[in-house]
Amino acid sequence: MTDTNKFDDLLTHLGTGRWNMLYFIAASFCVFMHPAQFISGVYLAPAVNHTCLPPEGNESVFISEDSCSYSVVVEGGEEVEEACTEWLFDDSFSLVCGRSYLRALYQSVYMLGTCLSYLVTGIIADRYGRKVVVVVSQVFILVLSLALCFLRTVVAILSVRFFLGMFDILIFIILCEC
């Protein structure tokens, strides 16, 4: 008898009990949620088109190509470059110019949570049981993913992304082990 036949016989013997169905649903949920969380930065933290908004009443202003500064012609015809303090753009987090690094943090914080989760996944699963950890993690992923839609500060969004990274990979590792 080949190994494949032995494994098929084992699966037939185990049947589709409650735990196997729960495991299948959790694994399926993970398969659909993991890619969504992993690539969401492309859609949720995109590059933002913006234009510098120079001070009012200043007609002798030239906006630079990067839209992060503008040049003002002062008396004597000399140009002085000044940093923009206000912009016109379609975003509420001001992720332009000096704050554009926060866009990269969106994915980096998620990956940091993923990396730290690797260190504790086995310990947590051994201590509390894989079943409990998978179910609790699924609930946290669902709640945090929904909460992410309503957060209004960059710090809160990055914090939630960190924990999503932790719980997301935790489930992935545990379900791959089972």
Task: Tell me 135's DSSP state.
Answer: H
The pLDDT of 77-90, averaged and rounded, is 72
pTM: 0.55
Q: Is 155 found in the same domain as 121?
A: yes
Q: What is the CB-side half-sphere exposure of residue 105 using CA atoms within 13 A?
A: 13
Using CB atoms within 10 A of its CB, is residue 124 exposed (0-12), middle (13-18) or buried (19+)? middle
Q: Is 102 found in the same domain as 126?
A: yes
Residue range(s) defining the domain that contains residue 158 = 16-47+95-177
Share of the chain above pLDDT 90, in %: 5
Tens of pLDDT, residues 145-164: 889 888 888 889 899 999 98
Q: Is 82 found in the same domain as 109?
A: no
Q: Is 100 found in the same domain as 78?
A: no
The domain tally of the chain equals: 2
Tens of pLDDT, residues 90-129: 556 666 677 777 777 888 898 899 889 888 888 888 899 8
